[in-house]
Amino acid sequence: MSASAVFILDVKGKPLISRNYKGDVPMSEIERFMPLLMQREEEGALTPLLSHGRVHFLWIKHSNLYLVATTLKNANASLVYSFLYKTVEVFCEYFKELEEESIRDNFVIVYELLDELMDFGYPQTTDSKILQEYITQQSNKLETGKSRVPPTVTNAVSWRSEGIKYKKNEVFIDVIESVNLLVNANGSVLLSEIVGTIKLKVFLSGMPELRLGLNDRVLFELTGLSGSKNKSVELEDVKFHQCVRLSRFDNDRTISFIPPDGDFELMSYRLSTQVKPLIWIESVIEKFSHSRVEIMVKAKGQFKKQSVANGVEIAVPVPSDADSPRFKTSVGSAKYVPEKNVVIWSIKSFPGGKEYLMRAHFGLPSVEKEEVEGRPPIGVKFEIPYFTVSGIQVRYMKIIEKSGYQALPWVRYITQSGDYQLRTS
């Protein structure tokens, strides 16, 4: 990888803090970054990697800050970006929000973290739970002369400390699927995919070994379980937490791991299967006598009747010059948000198979000028508990620990909206 230095810049490009890891790139080179970025932005040719002479700037933006890594070599760019995003994640764990103010208020801790996160341009300890064992918020109170490196850093299992004890041993498993959907004005599905994550909350004593079993199609085919009775899913783009033994997964599709303590994301996956829209939206817009417009929106739950979508929000775009809103809904409430030019129709509880209507009336002072750029899509937000659209299932969770204690695994399924949009005619 070999990043020469890492900088954190404010929104104007002024360095707030930096760490020189190799010394082969002059620190003054960062002064060229912001003019280069602004020039590219004006040209409409902005890229995540900018070069000036032999120096390459790999950068990301987070709220009002730029994180920039410099290098002379043909570095592994994806690893550098992974490191920069991981750095943001660690800082957010420490300071809640990563902003200019939090950097200025915590200079000492930021320097310590930059020292531990990377050494001579190579990533080191990037797990915030481990870093918090020896880089504390009260860094000035640490006693000198004592070794501050916990055994976890030099351990084979660097993400879990030894000697963890709980009175009640439990594991909570959350299977969360986000549905990304784009439907055109004719009702045809243009984009449809499921992005899933499996998150764990672990309260287990000692050094337990966990084995997770899913209804994975490849596993079913390997073990001869595939058939009409056993519903399976084909997982794509699977990404695991570092604790998972990848060689074991490659050999026999077993997800085997020693978990970190507390919350973490075990894995993520994607399914590019055709998804039937869970909440279907139809809208009709009528304009009357150049002075008012009426929008009728119909929402239908196209999922199982025993399931219920919670916190449904349907964002319906309206003309930018609309005024005098009046609403009538068969369920829920509607609210006009003029700064976003939308009506938000909120439905607290939306059972499957149900159909609801919303009518909105607006005054239009200048209906003459038609919107040339076209109407934005209708956006939908929702969450359906106890339901997965892909049909993924946790078949078992085995917990093995040398002391032989009994532990309880709890599983929860949630389907929610991702980027869910329906275009209107």
- State the first-to-last Cα distance of the chain, in angstroms, to the nearest integer: 50
The CATH number given to 5-132 is 3.30.450.60
The token duo for 267 is 């894995």
Residue 369 near residue 397 (C-beta atoms within 8 A)? no
CATH architecture of 279-385: Sandwich (2.60)
Per-position DSSP letters for 141-156, written without gaps between them: GPPTTS----HHHHSS
The token duo for 368 is 């003459």
The answer to whether 5-132 and 170-275+389-422 have equal CATH topology is: no
Give the model's confidence band at 195: pLDDT under 50 very low, under 70 low, under 90 confident, else very high: very high
pLDDT at 154: 52
Q: What is the largest CA-CA distance in the chain?
A: 83
Backbone angles phi, psi at 102, to 5 degrees: -70, -30
pLDDT, tens digit, 9 for 90 and up, residues 226-267: 554 567 888 889 999 989 999 988 888 889 999 999 999 999
pLDDT at 230: 61
Task: Give the residue-averaged pLDDT of 369-383.
Answer: 77
Neighbours of 233 (CB within 10 A): 20
| Amino acid type, 26 | P
Long-range contacts formed by 335-344: CB under 8 A, 24+ apart: 336/360, 340/315, 341/317, 342/315, 342/316, 342/317, 342/318, 343/295, 343/315, 343/316, 343/318, 344/313, 344/314, 344/315, 344/316
What residues pair up with 397 in beta bridges, in sequence order? 212
pLDDT, tens digit, 9 for 90 and up, residues 38-77: 999 999 888 999 999 999 999 999 989 999 999 987 888 9
Give the model's confidence band at 372: pLDDT under 50 very low, under 70 low, under 90 confident, else very high: very low
The tally of CA atoms less than 13 A away on the side-chain side of residue 243 is 22
pLDDT at 265: 94
Higher pLDDT, 73 or 181: 181
Homologous superfamily of domain range 170-275+389-422: Mu homology domain, subdomain B (2.60.40.1170)
Higher pLDDT, 285 or 17: 17
Q: In a 3-state reduction of DSSP, which class is residue 44?
A: coil
pLDDT at 424: 79
Long-range contacts formed by 89-95: CB under 8 A, 24+ apart: 89/128, 90/117, 90/126, 90/128, 90/131, 93/128, 93/132, 94/128, 94/132, 94/137
Strands of 279-288's sheet in order across: 279-288, 292-301, 355-363, 323-329
Per-position DSSP letters for 290-343, written without gaps between them: TTEEEEEEEEEE-S-TT-EEEEEEEEEE--TT-EEEEEEESSSEEEEETTTTEE
Backbone angles phi, psi at 120, to 5 degrees: 50, 40
Higher pLDDT, 375 or 88: 88
Q: Domain map of the chain by residue range?
A: 5-132, 170-275+389-422, 279-385
Q: In a 3-state reduction of DSSP, which class is residue 34?
A: helix
pLDDT, tens digit, 9 for 90 and up, residues 331-342: 999 999 999 999
pLDDT, tens digit, 9 for 90 and up, residues 94-133: 888 889 998 998 889 999 999 999 998 888 888 887 888 7
CA 82, 87, 90 angle in degrees (round to 5)? 125
Neighbours of 145 (CB within 10 A): 4
Per-position DSSP letters for 229-256, written without gaps between them: SS--B--EEEEE-TTB-HHHHHHH--EE
The phi-psi region of residue 157 (left if phi > 0; otherwise alpha if psi is between -120 and 50; otherwise beta) is beta
Residue 378 near residue 317 (C-beta atoms within 8 A)? yes
Question: How far is residue 34's CA from residue 68's CA, in Å, rounded to a whole number?
Answer: 11
Backbone angles phi, psi at 5, to 5 degrees: -155, 160
